[in-house]
Amino acid sequence: MAALRAAVGLGGVIARGNGRAYGDSAMGAAATIDMRRLNRMLAFDPATGQLVAEAGVILGDVITAFLPRGWFPYVTPGTKFVSLGGAIAADVHGKNHHVDGSFGAFVDWIDVVGADGEVTRASRSSNSELFGWTIGGMGLTGVILRAAIRLRPVESAWIRQETIPAPHLAAAMEAFEAADAATYSVAWIDCLASGGSLGRSLIMFGEHAETGEVPSAFRKHPFATPKRRAKTVPVNLPGAALNTWTVKAFNALYWRKGLSSPRKSLVDWDRYFYPLDAILGWNRIYGRRGFLQFQCALPPKSSEAGLRALLGATAAAGQGSFLAVLKRFGIQESRFSFPMEGYTLALDFPATAKTLALLDRLDAIAVDHGARFYLAKDARLAATTLHRSDPRADILRDMRREAGLDQAFASAQSERLLL
Amino acid sequence: MTDATRKSTVLILGGRSEIGLAIGRVFAAEGHNLILAARDPESLEPERADIALRHDIEVKLTQFDVLDTESMHGFVEALDPAPEIVVSVIGLMGEQAENERDPIAATQVMRSNYEGPALILGLFAERMVAAKKGTIVGVSSVAGDRGRASNYVYGSAKAGFTAFLSGLRNRCARLGVQVVTVKPGFVATRMTEGMDLPAALTAAPEEVGQAVLRAVERGRDVVYVRPVWGLVMRIITAIPERFFKRTDL
Ligand SMILES: Cc1cc2nc3c(=O)[nH]c(=O)nc-3n(C[C@H](O)[C@H](O)[C@H](O)COP(=O)(O)OP(=O)(O)OC[C@H]3O[C@@H](n4cnc5c(N)ncnc54)[C@H](O)[C@@H]3O)c2cc1C
Ligand SMILES: NC(=O)c1ccc[n+]([C@@H]2O[C@H](COP(=O)([O-])OP(=O)(O)OC[C@H]3O[C@@H](n4cnc5c(N)ncnc54)[C@H](OP(=O)(O)O)[C@@H]3O)[C@@H](O)[C@H]2O)c1
């Protein structure tokens, strides 16, 4: 605690959780505060499902501890290796944003270390400004020390999944709208399909399975998780392996498998929510240079046109995107969080000069369609693009200056984006 | 895990040390309940809550000072439930140079590493012998295998503790009570932070925890956390004294 206070006193610092953000948001301008050792769970109330824990606690550890007792996080991103602090600071979303909202919706209070090194408890009813700016604030309002989050009661460790193929974008969006009440929904897009097949996708809906639905082998232990072997990607694949052809082949295969496999299935939580975690070195598939993400959220009005333009530009560039994920967002009002009503598209690419050029094009398309960018996935956005896309960026910057937060807390990203 | 060690209560003397906590966490993960004993038990509340929540077990805190010989009987009797496994990680490194000059400092090191831990484990052994079951684990040190210029006050106290455990094991072997001596080698803890330790010889606290669990499960007598230490110490103890006295190890 004293060490933390001293670190904050240095100025130009930022908290770092488990380093799962893609860009430079968790790298301090001057110094970085590693939160991973502040990782104790402090209290749990089975009457309300409220867990109080330090910010460095990893979401996967929450699941390991509480799923056997019938609890699961209300909102989870696509990896379980995030810290609670990181999940709050990026106000992460899951496949259920359209019904449940973002991670912040299930945060009751947070303890935040401010520029003066003092701890302030903030909630919706007290210090609500600090609360509102810190959720989704990318660490720029202070260091989250502890949080009270609520967990969801579940009857099993299983998800009832339904997979629906959609031949093109309009069909995919229709499927999303038709299944608005589904708890979880996500579409995997074959982003090399073009023309009439643009936006060809598999949409996966999911519900927490009730005790009676659990596979018979697990009926006696509905919260047990089947052991699975971690697939590893042992060596960096040469960059050339990821040319258009391999991505095409991968996409075609995935597409066919989706069509032929049963449309309804039971999947355990780990395979359902965290397929990428199983491939331990999964980011190596792009070779040594690593990769870049692009994720934006589009408002309902311009979603279809925007998605069409983004996917069209991606297909035309022939750069491939190993993963193209489309999700629906429900209504969200927030100080600086990413989600807003509409759709969110996430693409990732190998980091090459050609990709950078494509990403600049995607930025422009996104801005033209009223999109917002996800800072947790960003490593290269231009400050002008951000401020043009999101008027809240100016407000955050001014608020930080007035509150004297800008000297104390700064990341490489906040300096690049002039926040 | 044998029936004898299933879902028992494990007492950790020195529960505030990183090694003690790591041992506790490993046993907690196996479903055992814990009692953490420390001089300032309130400071352990966050750890208590964390271990209890993560593993859905009971964790209790209790006050204990190993230098307070008078209170030992009362301490043992007051424990509820009586622990089936007792682990002592209590120890004090001290400053060798200070220990050479200051008998009071040296006494504290000797008592904290030998006298105190030996006496309290001896008392628990009495109870276990009467019950014909139980497990005693003493965390000693490779420093006790041979006295060296750099830390022989600490080392000699650990040597005494090691010999005590050896004798206790010999006495208990046919009485149903297991006695384990653990020699961790270098461990990366706050105590050794900043020291330049060879990576191959340095264990993480969690490794000590795993080693203790394995030793208890398998009925081992003396364990080095990293097996290479067994070899290192065999070589060091084999060096004839007339050469050894000139070395700078
Ligand atoms: C495979 C994969 C899948 C993903 N899927 C999704 C997804 O589906 N939805 C989604 O929303 N995100 C997703 N993400 C992004 C990820 O959830 C976020 O980047 C999250 O913030 C990472 O948490 P972290 O603990 O690793 O934080 P870091 O990466 O360490 O930090 C991220 C941000 O949080 C801040 N921060 C961290 N801890 C604290 C603290 N204690 N106090 C104040 N600020 C803090 C940092 O300053 C930084 O700005 C995914 C990432 C990966 C790698
Ligand atoms: N770290 C290494 O490299 C290493 C190597 C070999 C062996 N060891 C041994 O491993 C054990 C743990 O070491 P560590 O590295 O974790 O160091 P540590 O944190 O200093 O642990 C020492 C523990 O002993 C306790 N203690 C000291 N005097 C006491 C007293 N009078 N009454 C009650 N408790 C007392 C301390 O309690 P408080 O919390 O109340 O201070 C602390 O919990 C020690 O026996 C040490 O000798 C360590």
Q: A192 falls in which pLDDT band (50, 70, 90)?
A: confident
The pair phi, psi for residue A379, each rounded to 5°, is -130, 0
Residue with tokens 């995607």: A362
Q: Using a CB-CB distance cutoff of 8 angstroms, which residues of chain A are in contact with residue B49?
A: 40-43
Q: Return d(Cα A50, Cα A150) in angstroms, integer.
A: 4
How many angstroms away from the CA of B156 is the closest CA of chain A?
Answer: 35
Closest among A332, A350, A412, A280 to A92, alpha carbons compared: A332
Note the pLDDT of residue B107. Answer: 98
Question: What is the rounded end-to-end Cα distance, in angstroms, of chain A?
Answer: 27
List, as one string, the DSSP characters of B15-47. TTSHHHHHHHHHHHHTT-EEEEEESSGGGGHHH
Environment class of B162 (CB within 10 Å of its CB; exposed 0-12, middle 13-18, buried 19+): buried
Note the pLDDT of residue A232. Answer: 52
Q: Residue B146 sits in a domain of what CATH number?
A: 3.40.50.720
Q: Which residue of A has its CA nearest to B49?
A: A42
Is B171 within the bounds of a domain?
yes
Closest among A38, A36, A43 to A20, alpha carbons compared: A36
Report, as an integer, the average pLDDT of B23-52. Answer: 97
Q: Return d(Cα A208, Cα A210) in angstroms, integer.
A: 7
Are B97 and B46 in contact, with CB atoms under 8 Å apart? Answer: no
Q: What is the pLDDT of residues A35-64, one digit of tens each?
A: 999 999 999 999 999 999 999 999 999 999
Question: Cβ of A69 and B56 within 8 Å?
Answer: yes
| Structural domain count of chain B | 1
Say how many C-beta atoms besides its own lie within 10 A of residue A236's C-beta: 16
The pair phi, psi for residue A303, each rounded to 5°, is -60, -50
CA dihedral (B115, B117, B118, B121) positive or negative: positive
CA distances in angstroms from B33 to A251, B9, B11, B155, B224, listed in the order given: 50, 5, 9, 32, 25
Question: Cβ of B53 and A65 within 8 Å?
Answer: yes
Residue with tokens 């639905």: A213
CA dihedral (B190, B194, B196, B200) positive or negative: positive
We find that the CATH architecture of domain A2-155+389-416 is 2-Layer Sandwich (3.30)
Q: Return d(Cα A346, Cα A367) in angstroms, integer.
A: 15
Closest among A282, A283, A300 to A292, alpha carbons compared: A283
Please choose from B43, B187, B195, B223 the residue to mutate so as to test ligand 2's pocket, defined by most ligand atoms within 8 A of CB.
Answer: B187
pLDDT of B51 above 50: yes
How many angstroms away from the CA of A1 is the closest CA of chain B?
Answer: 13
Distance in Å, CA A2 to ligand 1 centroid: 25
pLDDT of B170 above 80: yes
Is B128 within the bounds of a domain?
yes
3-class secondary structure, A116: coil
Left, alpha or beta for B173 (phi > 0: left; psi -120 to 50: alpha)?
alpha
Tell whether B49 is within 8 A of chain A (Cβ). yes
What are the structure tokens assigned to B211, written together?
A: 């080693």
DSSP letter at B114?
A: I
Note the pLDDT of residue A16. Answer: 97
Q: Using a CB-CB distance cutoff of 8 angstroms, which residues of chain A are in contact with residue B46?
A: 40, 42, 54
Among the ranges given (A19-28, A259-268, B74-83), the one the predictor scored with the smallest mean pLDDT? A259-268
Note the pLDDT of residue B1. Answer: 44
Note the pLDDT of residue A238. Answer: 47
Q: What is the pLDDT of residues B135-164, one digit of tens each?
A: 999 999 999 999 999 999 999 999 999 999
Closest C-alpha to ligand 1, atom 17: A77
Question: What is the rounded end-to-end Cα distance, in angstroms, of chain B?
Answer: 40
What would the CATH number be for the domain defined by A158-208+229-381? 3.30.70.2520
List, as one string, the DSSP characters of A235-290. SPPPGGGGSHHHHHHHHHHHHHHHHHS-SEEEEEHHHHH-GGGGBTTGGGGG-TT-
Distance in Å, CA A200 to ligand 2 centroid: 62
Report, as an integer, the average pLDDT of B104-129. Answer: 98
For residue B47, the Cα-to-chain-centroid distance in whole angstroms is: 19
Q: Return d(Cα A185, Cα A196) in angstroms, integer.
A: 24
Is B177 within the bounds of a domain?
yes
Q: What is the pLDDT of residues A330-363, one digit of tens each?
A: 999 999 999 999 999 999 888 888 889 999 999 9
What are the structure tokens assigned to A23, written together?
A: 């860009």
Q: Which of residues A3 and A58 earns the better pLDDT score?
A: A58
DSSP letter at A411?
A: B
Closest among A413, A283, A291, A284 to A359, alpha carbons compared: A291
Mean pLDDT computed over every residue of chain B: 95
Q: Which residue of B has its CA nearest to A146?
A: B46
Question: Cβ of A42 and B49 within 8 Å?
Answer: yes
pLDDT of A122 above 70: yes
DSSP letter at A231?
A: B
Are A136 and A182 in contact, with CB atoms under 8 Å apart? Answer: no
Say how many C-beta atoms besides its own lie within 10 A of residue A367's C-beta: 19
Q: Return d(Cα A155, Cα A272) in angstroms, integer.
A: 16
Q: What is the pLDDT of residues A296-331, one digit of tens each?
A: 999 999 999 999 999 999 988 876 666 689 999 999
pLDDT of B56 above 60: yes
Note the pLDDT of residue A190. Answer: 84
Are A35 and A15 in contact, with CB atoms under 8 Å apart? Answer: yes
3-class secondary structure, B138: strand
Q: What is the pLDDT of residues B220-235, one digit of tens each?
A: 999 999 999 999 999 9
Q: Where in chain A is the domain with CATH 3.30.465.10?
A: 2-155+389-416
Q: A256 falls in which pLDDT band (50, 70, 90)?
A: low
Q: What is the pLDDT of residues A151-187, one digit of tens each?
A: 999 999 999 999 888 989 999 999 999 998 999 999 9
Note the pLDDT of residue A239. Answer: 47
Closest C-alpha to ligand 1, atom 7: A77
Q: Domain range for residue B135?
A: 9-244
- What are the start-end ranges of the E strands in B107-226? 134-139, 177-183, 186-187, 202-203, 222-224
pLDDT of A76 above 90: yes
Q: Return d(Cα B27, Cα B7) in angstroms, integer.
A: 9
Q: Return d(Cα A160, Cα A214) in angstroms, integer.
A: 9
CA distances in angstroms from A141 to A118, A133, A401, A408, listed in the order given: 13, 7, 11, 9
How many angstroms away from the CA of B49 is the closest CA of chain A?
Answer: 5
- Residue A93 CB–ligand 1 contact under 6 Å: yes
Q: What is the pLDDT of residues A196-242, one digit of tens each?
A: 989 988 899 999 999 999 988 888 999 998 876 555 554 454 444 44
Virtual torsion, Cα A65, A66, A70, A72, nearest 10 deg: -120
Closest among B96, B114, B115, B120 to B106, alpha carbons compared: B96
Are B154 and B143 in contact, with CB atoms under 8 Å apart? Answer: yes
Interhelix angle B116-131/B152-172, rounded to 10 degrees, is: 10
Q: A3 falls in which pLDDT band (50, 70, 90)?
A: confident
What are the structure tokens assigned to A65, written together?
A: 């501890």
Report, as an integer, the average pLDDT of B169-182. Answer: 96
Note the pLDDT of residue A1. Answer: 79
pLDDT of A261 above 60: no
Note the pLDDT of residue A349. Answer: 83
| Interfacial B residues in 211-230 facing A (CB < 8 Å) | none
Report, as an integer, the average pLDDT of B34-41. Answer: 98
Distance in Å, CA A314 to ligand 1 centroid: 25
Question: Cβ of B56 and A42 within 8 Å?
Answer: no
What are the structure tokens assigned to A101, written together?
A: 């909202």
Q: What is the pLDDT of residues A81-91, one digit of tens each?
A: 999 999 999 99
Distance in Å, CA B92 to ligand 2 centroid: 6
3-class secondary structure, A209: coil
Are A286 and A322 in contact, with CB atoms under 8 Å apart? Answer: yes
Name residues whose C-beta falls within 8 Å of residue B127's C-beta, 6 or more positions apart in sequence: B76, B82, B134
Q: Return d(Cα B131, Cα B138) in angstroms, integer.
A: 20
3-class secondary structure, A135: coil
Is B2 within the bounds of a domain?
no
Report, as an integer, the average pLDDT of B175-186. Answer: 96
Residue with tokens 């352990």: B44
Q: Return d(Cα A290, Cα A352) in angstroms, integer.
A: 9
Note the pLDDT of residue A353. Answer: 86
Mean pLDDT computed over every residue of chain A: 90
Is B63 within the bounds of a domain?
yes
Q: Where in chain A is the domain with CATH 3.30.70.2520?
A: 158-208+229-381
Please choose from B89, B93, B192, B225 the residue to mutate so as to test ligand 2's pocket, defined by most ligand atoms within 8 A of CB.
Answer: B89
CA distances in angstroms from B220 to B29, B83, B121, B217, listed in the order given: 21, 20, 18, 8
Report, as an integer, the average pLDDT of A13-19. Answer: 96
Among the ranges given (A6-20, A216-230, A248-262, A300-314), the one the predictor scored with the smallest mean pLDDT? A248-262
Note the pLDDT of residue A244. Answer: 54
Note the pLDDT of residue A13. Answer: 96
Residue with tokens 């209170």: B71
Percentage of chain B beyond pLDDT 90 is: 92
Note the pLDDT of residue A283. Answer: 57
Say how many C-beta atoms besides its own lie within 10 A of residue B72's C-beta: 18
Are B23 and B12 in contact, with CB atoms under 8 Å apart? Answer: yes
Report, as an integer, the average pLDDT of B205-223. Answer: 97
Report, as an integer, the average pLDDT of B80-94. Answer: 96
